[in-house]
């Protein structure tokens, strides 16, 4: 009986601490963990864009975060031609 109580106590302690020890995908690198729910529906002028980075691999939608001169982050679809062109142009500038 004592063995059963000890095993039950250990299982209870481990079971109750498990949700608090699991790390989520957004815990380490906050910059790359921004995910896009929607994409901008129209092309953005290149003169307003300063940088870009891709969304995290943990995101449901693969996207590109475009950073504007006013430090706004805008989600764009990386499959669109204008986004590919913007990425190429931003790579050349940096």
Which of the four pLDDT bands, split at 50, 70 and 90, describes residue 15? very low
The pLDDT mean for the chain works out to 76
- φ and ψ at 90, to 5 degrees? -70, -35
Which of the four pLDDT bands, split at 50, 70 and 90, describes residue 21? very low
The structure tokens 């209870």 sit at 12
Which of the four pLDDT bands, split at 50, 70 and 90, describes residue 43? very high
Q: How far apart are CA 44 and CA 87, in angstroms?
A: 12
- Does residue 51 contact residue 94 with C-beta atoms inside 8 Å? yes
The count of other CB atoms within 10 Å of the CB of residue 86 is 21
In angstroms, the Cα distances linking 1 to 4, 11, 52, 60, 86 are 5, 15, 62, 49, 69
Domains of the chain and any CATH numbers: 36-93 (2.40.50.40)
Edge-to-edge strand ranges of the sheet holding 64-68: 49-54, 64-68, 73-76
45 vs 93, higher pLDDT:
45
Which of the four pLDDT bands, split at 50, 70 and 90, describes residue 34? confident
């Amino acid at each position: 009986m004592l063995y059963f109580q000890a095993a039950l106590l250990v299982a209870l302690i481990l079971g109750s601490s498990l949700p608090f020890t699991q790390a989520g995908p957004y815990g380490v690198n906050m910059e790359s963990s921004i995910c896009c729910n929607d994409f901008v529906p129209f092309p953005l002028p290149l003169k307003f864009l300063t940088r870009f980075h891709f969304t995290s691999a943990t995101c449901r939608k693969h996207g590109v975060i475009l950073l504007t001169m006013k430090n706004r982050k805008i989600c764009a679809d990386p499959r669109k031609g204008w986004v590919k062109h913007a990425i190429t142009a931003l790579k050349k500038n940096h």
